[in-house]
C-alpha cells in the first residue's frame, strides 16, 4: 500500500479547492501567519529550546526575522510573480497566435524538514507551496517533535484548511515513506548522503524535487581586506548555532600577505570561546574523527575552552591545514574549521572548486570589483562579499547549491516559481492553417512556403533573403 495514502487523498481534495482561490485570497492566510509569529513567539521558541537547546533570543534573530520577511515578500510580490504572462513577439510562421504562460501548482508538495533552523527552513518552502496553490504533506524532523506540534497548530490557527497542510509523524522512517507517497513534488533539506538516496528514488518515479543539501563553505580573505572583520566573521560563521549550519564556515583561505594579522585577531577569539553542545552523537563522533586526522598529520590546532560535557565540542581552528583533509571535503555540523594560506588567485580557485560541495561562500576584500570577479570563478550558489551567512536569508533572493550541495532553489521569485509548473495556453485566430492544408493535400506549394519563409527570415545575405521572399510569395499564390 502507498504510504500516507489517506493523508494524501484528503490533502488532494483540499488542494483542489485551495487552487481555485485567487492568489490574493491565499495571501490573507499568509498575512495572518506572519502576525501570529509575533503572537506565538514565546511558545514556539520554548518548543525549539526544549527540542534542540537553541537559546530563545538567538532563534528570534535566525529563524523568526527571516521567516517573517519571507512571508512579507510573498504578500507583496507573489501575485505579480505568479500572474499569467503574455508572450511578446512571435516568428512569422506563427502569425495570428496569442500565447499566455500560466503558473499552475504541482498539486501536493511533500516536504521533509530539518531541525537546525526548524522555523525558517520549514516555514519558507511551506509558505511558498501554499501561496502557489499547492497542498503540503510535511514530515518534521524527529529531533523537533515539540516544535512540529506547535508550528502545525499555528498554521491551522492562521486559517489554512486542516487537510491542506498535513503534519506527518516526526519519525526517521516517515522521510523515505514520503518519497514513496502520492506527491507531485518533493522538497528536502538535509544531508547530501540522504539527498542522493532520495534523488535516485524520485528519479525512478519521475517526481521533481528541490534538494537543499549541506555545504563545506569557504571564507576567503584577499590582500587589503579588513582582517579584524574577516577573522571575527570567520569565528561567527564557524560557531553560529554550534556550527550546526549548512552554510557554516569550514574552510578559510587567507592570502599569505595578511595571514599574520588574521591569526592575531582569531587566536584570542578561539581561546576564549566556550564549547558548544551538539544535537546528535553522530556529529560529535564525526568531529572527533576530523580532529584526529588533523592531529595525525601534525597540524597546529587552536581550541577553545573545554567544559567536559559528553556532547560538547570546543571551537577549533586547524592552522595551515592541508587541503586534502576530510574537513575540507565533508559536510560537518560542528564548530571546526581549517585555515589555509594562498599566494595566487588561480591557486585559490583551484583549491576552492576542488570540493564537491558547492553551497555558499564569503569573500573579504577592500576592492568590491575584485570580489565580484572572484565570485564569478567560484562554483557556488551564493557568494557574500564582506559578510557571512546572514545576507543569504534575504527573502527576495534565491538560495540553493550545486554539485553535492543539491539542486533547485528556495526563497525569492525563483523559489516560488519552483513550486509551480508552467502551462502555455495558445490561441490562434482565423482559419488559415497552411501547415494543415499542405500536409493533408500533399501540396508541393507548401515546400515553397516553408523554404521561402526559412530563407527570408534567416538567410545570411540580403540576396538570400530576397530569394526566400519570392519563393514564399510563389508558394502562397499557388495555394490561393
Sorted by where each begins, the domain ranges of the chain are 5-213+411-423, 217-394, 432-479
Query: How high is the pLDDT of residue 22?
Result: 97
Q: What CATH superfamily classification does 217-394 receive?
A: Aldehyde Dehydrogenase; Chain A, domain 2 (3.40.309.10)
Residues 129 and 109: beta-carbon distance below 8 Å? yes
Which stretches of the chain drop beneath a pLDDT of 50? none
Q: Which residue has the cell 486559517?
A: 159
What's the pTM value of the predicted model, to 2 decimals?
A: 0.94
Within 10 angstroms of residue 57's Cβ, the number of other Cβ atoms is 9
pLDDT in tens, 257-274: 999 999 999 999 999 999
Q: Classify burial at 346, counting beta carbons within 10 Å of its beta carbon; exposed 0-12, middle 13-18, buried 19 or more.
A: exposed
pLDDT in tens, 139-188: 999 999 999 999 999 999 999 999 999 999 999 999 999 999 999 999 99
Query: How high is the pLDDT of residue 480?
Result: 63
Using CA atoms, how far residue 344 sits from 140, 252, 309, 349, in Å, is 45, 15, 42, 9
What distance in Å separates the CA atoms of residue 450 and residue 467, rounded to the nearest whole number? 13
Query: How high is the pLDDT of residue 1?
Result: 78
- Helix, strand, coil: what percent of the chain each, to 5? 50, 20, 30
Is domain 5-213+411-423 annotated with CATH 3.40.605.10? Answer: yes
What distance in Å separates the CA atoms of residue 34 and residue 228, rounded to the nearest whole number? 37
Give me 355's grid cell: 570540493
217-394 has the same fold as 5-213+411-423: no
Phi then psi for 122, rounded to 5 degrees? -100, -45
Amino acid at each position: 500500500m502507498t504510504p500516507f495514502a489517506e493523508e494524501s487523498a484528503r490533502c488532494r481534495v483540499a488542494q483542489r479547492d485551495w487552487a481555485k482561490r485567487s492568489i490574493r485570497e491565499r495571501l490573507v492566510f499568509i498575512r495572518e501567519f506572519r502576525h501570529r509569529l509575533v503572537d506565538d513567539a514565546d511558545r514556539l521558541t520554548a518548543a525549539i529550546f526544549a527540542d534542540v537547546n537553541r537559546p530563545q533570543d538567538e532563534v528570534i534573530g535566525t529563524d523568526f526575522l527571516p521567516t517573517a520577511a519571507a512571508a512579507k515578500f510573498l504578500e507583496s510580490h507573489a501575485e505579480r510573480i505568479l500572474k499569467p504572462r503574455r508572450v511578446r513577439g512571435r516568428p512569422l510562421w506563427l502569425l495570428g497566435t496569442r500565447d499566455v504562460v500560466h503558473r499552475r501548482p504541482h498539486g501536493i508538495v511533500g516536504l521533509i524538514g530539518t531541525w537546525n533552523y526548524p522555523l525558517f527552513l520549514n516555514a519558507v518552502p511551506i509558505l511558498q507551496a501554499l501561496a502557489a496553490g499547492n497542498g503540503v504533506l510535511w514530515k518534521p524532523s524527529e529531533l523537533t517533535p515539540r516544535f512540529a506540534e506547535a508550528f502545525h497548530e499555528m498554521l491551522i490557527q492562521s486559517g489554512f484548511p486542516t487537510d491542506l497542510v498535513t503534519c506527518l509523524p516526526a519519525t526517521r522512517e516517515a522521510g523515505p515513506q514520503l518519497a514513496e507517497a502520492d506527491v507531485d513534488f518533493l522538497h528536502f533539506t538535509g544531508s547530501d548522503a540522504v539527498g542522493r538516496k532520495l534523488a535516485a528514488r524520485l528519479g525512478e518515479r519521475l517526481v521533481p524535487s528541490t534538494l537543499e543539501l549541506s555545504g563545506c563553505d569557504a571564507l576567503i580573505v584577499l590582500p587589503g581586506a579588513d582582517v579584524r572583520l574577516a577573522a571575527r566573521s570567520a569565528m561567527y560563521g564557524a560557531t553560529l548555532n554550534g556550527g550546526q549550519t549548512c552554510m557554516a564556515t569550514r574552510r578559510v583561505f587567507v592570502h599569505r600577505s595578511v595571514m599574520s594579522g588574521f591569526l592575531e585577531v582569531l587566536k584570542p577569539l578561539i581561546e576564549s570561546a566556550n564549547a558548544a553542545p551538539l544535537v546528535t552523537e553522530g556529529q560529535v563522533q564525526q568531529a572527533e574523527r576530523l580532529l584526529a586526522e588533523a592531529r595525525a598529520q601534525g597540524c597546529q590546532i587552536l581550541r577553545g575552552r573545554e567544559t567536559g560535557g559528553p556532547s560538547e565540542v570546543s571551537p577549533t581552528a586547524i592552522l595551515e591545514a592541508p587541503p586534502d583533509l576530510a574537513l575540507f571535503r565533508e559536510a560537518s555540523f560542528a564548530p571546526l574549521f581549517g585555515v589555509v594560506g594562498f599566494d595566487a588567485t588561480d591557486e585559490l580557485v583551484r583549491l576552492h572548486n576542488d570540493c564537491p560541495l558547492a553551497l555558499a561562500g564569503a569573500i573579504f576584500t577592500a576592492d568590491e570589483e575584485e570580489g565580484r570577479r572572484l565570485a564569478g570563478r567560484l562554483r557556488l550558489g551564493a557568494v557574500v562579499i564582506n559578510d557571512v551567512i546572514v545576507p543569504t536569508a534575504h527573502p527576495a533572493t534565491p538560495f540553493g547549491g550545486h554539485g553535492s550541495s543539491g539542486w533547485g532553489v528556495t526563497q525569492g521569485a525563483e523559489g516560488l516559481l519552483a513550486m509551480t509548473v508552467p502551462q502555455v495556453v495558445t490561441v490562434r485566430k482565423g482559419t488559415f492553417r497552411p501547415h494543415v492544408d499542405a500536409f493533408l493535400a500533399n501540396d508541393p506549394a507548401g515546400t515553397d512556403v516553408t523554404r521561402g519563409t526559412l530563407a527570408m527570415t534567416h538567410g545570411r545575405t540580403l540576396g538570400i533573403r530576397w530569394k526566400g521572399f519570392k519563393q514564399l510569395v510563389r508558394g502562397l499564390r499557388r495555394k490561393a
